[in-house]
Structure 1
């Protein structure tokens, strides 16, 4: 078929199909009044994706009062990691974070998992948080779910110790509450939005911790910039964000986070504790080659080592002289390698045996 014939046939079929119209009953079944938010849609774009390393300070609690701070390898001991994803969905934002770290010289583990959903105005829709720890061979797990039900906030807390479980449920009236009530995932989202939009100053909110306490929080974005060096990399013009949570006007929790201008975390720490989160990992240590004991013994013995070098030299000289006096061996090896690369057998050893057996019969 010629190209011009194919184009002609395609035009004829398109003209015939354009004459076919749906009947009136089919139009009536279509729901033309569906809004964009009612159409099911998966997550659309990834706003922030971070993997942070958790390290323990060997020198005590962390204090960053100076203009610049340098962390060296001998100051930090890496004990875990934390992953954080903030994604934009069709009607708001989705936050996911997970962490895990070792305790007691690596004998036990602890960590958390968080999933949250917020609308396009950063109002809480639902958030679930789980924290687990091991204390005296007992696994302690704390779960909390907060769900917005219009004027009320439904909070369900559960504490598990091995097989035992206790569950608590309460509703909090949040109608016309100002400042807004957000959870930990919303705080992560909110801090980045403040950074990206060049906000500086104080931002107040309310939150609930995993123990069920309602806390008043204040996020303070400093106008001044700092410099931080972690291992081999320096960060300049770092934005400092302080987060204080109050219970009855007493500071219950406090943390400091160092962001880049595009909302990426450089450093995060809690002044009361001796571990921190950082974006840069320490350079890998070169692996030291450990020699076997017997090999180390004869190599350190000068007499044995000289004897080994002499034998090696004689073996090499003998092999080279034999190949020079028997050039047909080189041709055999060349033919064998050529056949091996041409046939490409899955198992080399049976092919080699068969190849030289055939050569024996030939010669």
Structure 2
């Protein structure tokens, strides 16, 4: 070893130690300063090392590698949905869901209509559309509604049109309303039709600096879904307008507790309960309860004072059973007789096919017969058939 390669350390070359830099220094060591090219080299080395690391099989199983960019929704895209609900009548009386777990069976509900609800995206907000139709009484009359609304990104009303129709004492009653918000002035046109008679009313409401927000029925559906997606718990207040022109104070309450609901054959656990109260002069005008899943889909909706509810699950159709005559059941239950029947049937079919093959003129006779039946259209086919073939016998 060449001792001349090592030089003794001088005292003036050692900088004064600092407490925060104590870990950087050793005795007889100068302060190390990294050059730019060294820093790039170190970064390149680390990148090269990281590129060689592959995820384990467990990581591959946990990661959703098949998720496309289209499926990664943001908050606005999560509000866009379309669903169909079924309207049923409760046979046991008004709806009550005060129990911890409520079960609806086939014997309790009778399906009487449907409701469609969809929320679409516009360039400056959302478009809400809903439509319903249901039978009344013994199914002789119909009633329903149609709604179209547009709201901006902050759920402020732009325009909404709503119409309802019903039949009362053989008279068609239709109520229409159009509300437009322009420069914080709400213009409302309300129309009531009874058969051919019509009455229109127009009013303007100043909603500038009004708190809480002013929304209509379509905005309420949009707002409730927004609260569910954002895990809101508590009360949210708003103002709305009925078809009769009454301004109501609404309160949406999202409960923290979860419930379990069973409709027909489907169980829904951890359902979010949303109650909607509408007040006029501090008196409750309308109350409704809606049960949502965590992604904002409606499971159940009902009004406690009425025996109608909306539900997302429909009873599967019953399979149609073939009703056979009693004698047919008796001989088909006997294996020996049934095998003999199948054997005779096969022989009869083969014999008929062989006869038709040997006598092709029968096909022309049958064609003439069917053509005559369709042309004459007799009320009783059997005597017409006898006369037809009797005439054919005389002819040939």
TM-score (norm: length of structure 1): 0.72
Cα displacement (A) at 1:288:
2.7
For 2:187 and 2:302, the matched residues in 1 are separated by 31
Match of 2:174 among 134, 137, 141: 141
Is the partner of 2:154 in helix, strand or coil? coil
Structure 1 match to 2:85: 52
Supply the distance in 1 between the matched residues of 2:110 and 2:349 (Cα, whole angstroms): 53
Residues 79 and 222, structure 2, Cα contact 8 Å, conserved in 1 = no
1:201-212 aligned at under 5 Å gives the runs 201-212=234-245
RMSD across aligned positions (CA): 3.0
2:289 corresponds to: 256
Q: How many angstroms apart in 1 are the aligned matches of 2:110 and 2:326? A: 36
Q: 1:157 aligns with which of 181, 190, 193?
A: 190
Q: Is the 8 A contact 1:46 1:85 kept in 2?
A: no
Structure 2 gaps of 5+ residues are 1-76, 368-396
Query: Does the 8 Å contact 2:79/2:226 carry over to 1?
Result: no
Tell me the residue number matched to 1:299.
328
Partner in structure 1 of residue 213 of structure 2: 180
1:151 Cα deviation after fit = 2.4
1:329-348 paired onto structure 2 within 5 Å: none
How many positions carry a matched residue from both structures?
A: 282
Gapped regions of structure 1 (runs ≥ 5): 1-43, 324-328, 334-348, 354-363
Task: Indicate the structure (1 or 2) with the bigger Cα radius of gyration.
Answer: 2
Distance in 1 between residues matched to 2:155 and 2:342, nearest whole Å: 75
Relative to structure 1, is the Cα distance of residues 297 and 248 closer, same or farther in structure 2, using a 3 angstrom cutoff? same
Deviation at 1:289, TM superposition (A): 2.2
Which SS does the other structure have where 1:252 is aligned? strand
Deviation at 1:100, TM superposition (A): 0.2
Matched, 1:226 2:259: yes
| Runs of 4+ with >2 A deviation | 288-291, 296-302, 305-320
In the TM superposition, what are the counterparts of 1:25-104 in structure 2 within 5 Å? 47-104=80-137
Summarize deviations over 1:309-340 as a string: whole Å, max 9, x none.
867644545777x89xxxxx7xx99xxxxxxx
Is the Cα–Cα contact under 8 Å of residues 81 and 101 in structure 1 kept in the other structure?
yes
Question: Using a 3 Å threshold, how does the CA distance of structure 1 residues 118 and 315 change in structure 2: closer, same or farther?
Answer: closer
**Contact 1:61 1:273 (8 Å CA) reproduced:** yes
